[in-house]
Amino acid sequence: MSFSVAGVSHNTASLELREKLAVVAGDLRSSLAAIRRKCALDELVVLSTCNRLEFYFRGDGDQVIAHMAAAGGFPVHEAHNVIYRHDGEAAARHLFSVAAGLDAMIFGETEVLAQCKAAYEAALTAGATGAVLNAAFQQAFLTAKRVHCETAISRGHTSVGSVAAALVRRIFGGLDGRGVLVIGAGTMASNTLENLARLGPREVVIANRSIPRARELAGRFGGRAARLSSVESLLEETDVVVASASSASHIVTRDLLESVSLRRKSPFLILDIAVPRNVEPAVAELSGVSLYNIDSLKETADKNAKARKRASAMAHRIVSEEAGSFESLMAERRVAPLVAELKEMARKIASSEVRAALRRVESGAVAADEIEKLAHRVANKILHAPVAALKQAAANGGAERLADAARKLHGLKDDAQR
């Protein structure tokens, strides 16, 4: 009744492979339905971010890995080179670590918790989750909160946005008099812009397919909204570009940026934090352009991670403790139907014997005698099946394990404790 996870991350797969496997946000609902159907899964949550693609599921793990191998364009027998899989408590430990930012490219990253919540909400809305994954993700969110409250892993630059701001400060010293163009209006865009806004940009423009969504984000930072189709003209007036749109093709190409560069002299800093990438890699070859993708931000992030990693041991202890508690809860749920059946059996036996005893008392029997007989009859009937099973096992020469189980079930002392 537990769950599994199969996936790739920045630890196991290149950016190119992660691009192939990424599930675009707008396609998530249909992808959930298609993958569940294809792999015959009881429950599924898909976590697709710039750093990872993970399937949290209940069902046939071999089918999930075969699906990922086909999507990535490599033979299934080579899947173990890049795809990891965890089951049971190990899967819970992995999910809790991811939600808490312990497996993030930027150690202690806080944005990943919001991404986990969004992935879960999408699956919940699509009807792809059930009792197990609902419980797992709720526990993951509580674990992440506990890790960030009880340890120091959140100190310093703990998000792509904060690392991006640090990079801007290093290159430009600030954003005074400079324009910022944000392509996309999702969570990553919002978090990055929140950090860049503190550097005092001259202007903020949000270019997005959905203008209402762009207006909403722009309004929070005193910026303006624009259509995605106007990116070329917007590039002429900007200095820093943050690209984080959900798109299967490049929005900023080398040819486009080369054309823009001919009409202006200022250098570009482009932060492409989308997967699949929004900016054609060949853009980096242009003079006056500094291009950073999600993986190249890691070097900057690593310099800020040392102090937080000192809190790693405590954070991992919390995750292990919570994962163990979750697995115990799942084990309890597995035996819950049997416990209910045993209680119902005992209730029926007791109820039947009480009714019979009352009839005898009404017919003149002594109440005290009937109560004593009632207790004996109830005990004998409840113990009849286990006693018969023990005798049968003894006759067949295999009573030891059953006898040990009976002692544990009834709280009896074993021979060593007598």
H-helix or E-strand spanning residue 291: strand 289-293
DSSP 253: -
First to last CA, the chain: 38
> Which entry of 39, 50, 116, 149 is annotated as an active-site residue?
50
Alpha-carbon torsion, ordered 167, 173, 178, 182, to 10 deg: 20
Which residues are CB-neighbours of 77 under 8 A, at least 6 positions away? none
Single out the residue of 49, 54, 154, 48 nearest to residue 100, CA to CA: 154
8 A C-beta contact, residue 390 and residue 406: yes
DSSP 414: -
Which residues are CB-neighbours of 282 under 8 A, at least 6 positions away? 253, 254
Instruction: Return the sign of the alpha-carbon dihedral for residues 324, 325, 326, 328.
Output: positive
Distance CA 58, CA 116 (A): 18
DSSP 14: -
Distance CA 203, CA 200 (A): 9
Which residues are CB-neighbours of 315 under 8 A, at least 6 positions away? 100, 102, 147, 151, 153
Residues in a beta bridge with 181: 205, 241
Amino acid identity of residue 418, one-letter, is: R
8 A C-beta contact, residue 242 and residue 213: no
The verdict on whether 50 is a catalytic residue reads yes
Of the CA atoms within 13 Å of residue 122, those in its CB half-sphere come to 22
Active site residues: 50
